[in-house]
Amino acid sequence: MKVLVLGSGGREHALVWKLRQSPRLTKLYCAPGNGGICQDAECADVDLKSLDSMVALANRLQPDLTIVGPELPLTVGVVDEFTRRGWRIFGPTQAAAQLESSKSFAKQFMQRHHIPTAHYAICVSVDEVREALPHFHAPIVVKADGLAAGKGVVIAKTKEEAALFAAEMLSGKMLGEAGQRIVLEEFLDGEELSFLLISDGERVAPLVAAQDHKRVGDGDTGPNTGGMGAYSIASLVDAPMRDWLVTHIAKPVVAGMREEGMQYRGILYCGLMMTARGPMVLEFNCRFGDPETQPILMRLESDLIDAMEASIDGRVSDGDFKWSSDASVCVVLASGGYPGTYDSGVEILGLEGAAKITGVKVFHAGTTHRDGGFYTAGGRVLGVTARGADLPAALSRAYEAVAKIGFEGMHYRKDIGARSLKK
């Protein structure tokens, strides 16, 4: 089977790494890929914003299956177009992907289908923000409606601060078109959880849970990022809670989409806050998370191609996945200045030494490969991922590998998984 993965980040490298383990695979492509992915798959140029570019690539490569990594191709309708042409592709349609591409759509959808989420208000002007703010207690969450690469969420400590952030988003100066509509949201206190499932439009099957670390600094300090690391352990979600999340969140989402004429196929990522009032949905993503995919796939022991084809063919079941009881962790190594401005083209050293550590895989996110060396080409550069018998063992391996790697300006969080260790 020939498989094409669309995307160029750490998530896509993890997908490529896992797909290579399938005995069904005969040829693996990734477009556009990155420096590390090109060592594991044949990479090709493509514009992920352009349907014409993606169609032309698939026409040339003739893959038996295409897998969409990031959100952007979903929002421009790549699944709709490939399906119309009779090409097999894994992911939700453009309409279904509104769950991720529009925060306001997602909030209104959850309200219609009684899915637990925070109190909110949708605003398109500064005047509407002023009218809504008296209905909230500080702190207040201010969210851009559109896609913002994980950086469209700000937690304001006061109503005055919320008004300033909202005005900046609405002006277009902060996030462009993504912030032309905003969502004000009640601040929820608790533990965040990433709960992913696979759906065929009717049935769902859960993956193992993970916990992301979104803030740039140790102790959850500094601005939000696309994710600075994640870990996955069996005790994150016990069987009764998993069943509750499937029954009260995942199944109502899939059923609600079907009722509204949007069959949901692919990965459903539920970003949750485990509050004293129970689990509440913070956001939905319509694809694998990044960096959660890295530790999740490290624990997967069954064939990923089989599970994806079950989603496309309408035969998803709880038996689609087999998991290791081991713990896994991903530590993201970022460029100096990230999530703000940063330099690219900085040489990365020590990858060979890190790769020799048992249970470790270094996934490339923002890298290029030239003249026999690897260089930085993004904000999040590498995802050092490790598996171990328990979380301390996995963390020890991951940070041992991190210590082998170096590039100018490199920074990373030193407390991935710390909250779980304290428990």
Query: Domain extents for the chain?
Result: 2-91, 119-186, 191-320, 327-422
User: Are 2-91 and 327-422 in the same CATH fold?
Assistant: no
The Cα–Cα gap between 208 and 230 comes to 13
The Cα–Cα gap between 262 and 226 comes to 28
**pLDDT for the residue 46:** 98
The Cα–Cα gap between 147 and 10 comes to 19
Amino acid at 197: L
| CATH classification for the domain delimited by 119-186, as one of 3.40.50.1820, 3.60.15.10, 3.30.1490.20, 3.30.1510.10 | 3.30.1490.20
Strand partners, 218: none
Q: Where are the beta strands (DSSP E) in 225-264?
A: 229-232
**Which CATH code is given to the segment(s) 327-422?**
3.90.600.10
Phi and psi at 317, nearest 5°, equal -145, 165
- The label of the residue with tokens 């670390």 reads 213
The Cα–Cα gap between 165 and 384 comes to 34
The Cα–Cα gap between 127 and 418 comes to 42
| CATH classification for the domain delimited by 191-320, as one of 3.40.50.10490, 3.40.50.12500, 3.30.470.20, 1.10.3720.10 | 3.30.470.20
Tokens of 298: 């490290």
Question: pTM of the predicted model, to two decimals?
Answer: 0.95
Strand partners, 390: none
**Which CATH code is given to the segment(s) 2-91?**
3.40.50.20
Tokens of 358: 């048992």
**pLDDT for the residue 273:** 97
Q: Is 33 left (phi over 0), alpha (psi -120 to 50) or beta?
A: left
Mean pLDDT by runs of 10 across the 423 residues of the chain is 98 98 98 97 98 98 98 97 98 97 96 97 94 95 83 88 92 75 94 96 97 95 93 96 97 98 96 96 96 98 97 91 97 97 97 97 98 97 98 98 98 94 75
C-beta separation of 113 from 256 below 8 A: yes
**pLDDT for the residue 34:** 98
**pLDDT for the residue 306:** 96
The Cα–Cα gap between 354 and 336 comes to 21
The Cα–Cα gap between 226 and 149 comes to 6
The Cα–Cα gap between 225 and 236 comes to 22
